[in-house]
Amino acid sequence: MELSLSLIFFSLLLQTSFGAVSQIDRIPNGRSIPCPEGAYGCTNGMCLASGHIALDGVTQSCDGTPNFTPNQFGYDYLDQRQTWNYAICTTDSDKDGRTNGDELGDPCCTWTKDSGVAPRRTIDITHPSVETMTSSSPSCLLSGEPSDISVKNVSSSNGDVIIQWDIPSTQCYCGFTVYRKLQSEEDDQYSLVANLSYDAVSFDDADATPSSDYDYLILAVNLAGRSPGKIIPFSTPSQQVPSRIHTITLSADSSHVYVSWDAPRENGSPVLYYIIARNGTVIDNVTVTSYIDVNVMSGQVYEYSIAAGNAYGLGNFSQSFIIKTARASDTPCTNCSSHGTCDGVTDTCSCDPGYVGSDCSIEVTTTGMDAPLTSSFITSSALPLTSSAFL
């Protein structure tokens, strides 16, 4: 009897904790897993309960029927307390040479159910517990460490060093790490300059100095490790345009935007001017590191970017910085009488009790039927407040 109760409890636990409805959105691409051939309960060709198997122990059950016995992926998932994490992601439940993450479109195990972002891959999705259904995409773990990138071009543009490369389709990358050092420095003096996403195909170094000999080291990274590292030598020109401006400070009222910035590195020639762009259009040029834009409207959003120029030309524009001007109504109104308070948002007066009007100067008189309700208005003819009155 105790054994039977235990089995019933375990069955109910599995039905509750691994039902298709409750778990489908807790794994990547849970609604896009193709149905295995001959599976029970397919929905428009999709397996919405990928963690279940039928009574025969062979046929997959894609809607959790005719029972709720977990398949191997289901057991592995239950071992992780029904949580998509690094452990379940890097497990190869069906032993087909692809991790569960590879099969479900999360090869680098970065997806979370609360991120609001789609998994890295939404095609080539396969069932994580069916050995004959194997993703054709390269594994970011079981295929081993990635090879080095193939450098396509290295150049200098407007004071920046730009490195471009190709990503082989036969490799699975999770990201790229970029290091830099002067060639005169020892190999252990590389400094980290950037961490890039898996789909990056270029790096723009805005902090390189002119007349310098650099070694760049780029490492490709996946779950199995990192590539040996590609060393890329490059010598920057002796005279260049100014470097990119990194930070712009903005403030605003309803009719002005106040812009300021730090002077960038000159790169061998003094900065002679700055070009101001608003919403992608050049609006002015100045010789100082501040600017007041008076041609703006209240309550509007504006984007500003700035580039510095010297005798060798104009440098790259900075990234855009965003500011919203104040609404004219944000300035407190001044026409309220002593019986009202200005609402700075609506630019209207909020009147004290007993006063009305746009400036709250009109006193309300209470005569006749406008008089406030007092006890004298309550007579014996009024409905008695008894329980019968509410039936």
Judgement on whether residues 219 and 269 belong to the same structural domain of the protein: no
pLDDT value at position 1?
45
Residues 302 and 374 in one domain: no
Query: What was the pLDDT predicted at 377?
Result: 32
Kindly state whether residue 303 falls inside one of the protein's structural domains: yes
Parent domain of 281: 248-327
DSSP string, 197-255: -TT--EEEETTPPSS-EEEEEEEEEETTEE-S-EEEEEE--SS-PPPPP--EEEEE-SS
From the number of C-beta atoms within 10 Å of its C-beta (0-12, 13-18, 19+), residue 146 rates as buried
What integer pLDDT is reported at residue 183 of this predicted model? 94
Question: By the 8 A CB rule, do 181 and 190 touch?
Answer: yes
The rounded distance, in Å, linking the Cα atoms of 175 and 180 is: 17
Q: Which helix (H) or strand (E) holds 291?
A: strand 290-293
Same domain, 286 and 319: yes
In-domain check, residue 194 = yes
Q: Which of 278, 300, 327 delimits the end of a domain?
A: 327
**Position 116 in a domain:** no
Of the residues 327, 349, 383, the one at which a domain ends: 327
pLDDT at 65: 63
Model pLDDT, residue 33: 94
Are both 16 and 98 inside the same structural domain?
Answer: yes
Q: Give yes or no: residues 53 and 96 share one domain.
A: yes
In a shared domain, residues 339 and 292: no
Give yes or no: residues 317 and 385 share one domain.
Answer: no
Distance of CA 134 to the CA centre of its chain: 30
> Is 121 part of a structural domain of the chain?
no
What is the C-alpha end-to-end distance of the chain, expressed in Å? Answer: 54
Spatial contact of 217 and 137, defined as CB atoms under 8 Å apart: no
Determine phi and psi for 280, rounding to 5 degrees.
85, 0
Do 274 and 287 reside in the same domain of the chain? yes
117 found inside a domain: no
Structure confidence by residue, pLDDT tens digits, 26-83: 999 999 999 998 888 888 999 988 888 877 777 888 876 656 688 999 999 999 999 9
Domain count, the chain: 4
- 170 and 95 both lie in a single domain: no
Q: What is the CATH number of the domain that holds 259?
A: 2.60.40.10
| Ordered DSSP codes for 107-130 | TTS---TTS-S--S--SS---TT-
114 within domain boundaries: no
User: How much is the pLDDT for 238?
Assistant: 82
Domain's final residue, options 103, 133, 158:
103
Domain identity same for 265 and 193:
no
What residues in the chain have per-residue pLDDT under 50?
A: 1-21, 330-331, 367-391
In a domain? residue 199: yes
Could you tell me if 249 and 260 are in contact, meaning their C-beta atoms sit under 8 angstroms apart?
A: yes
Is residue 71 in some structural domain?
yes
Encode pLDDT of 247-282 as tens digits.
999 999 989 999 999 999 888 889 999 999 999 999
The reply to whether 74 and 21 lie within a common domain is: yes
Residues 12 and 29 in one domain: yes
Provide the pLDDT for residue 67: 60
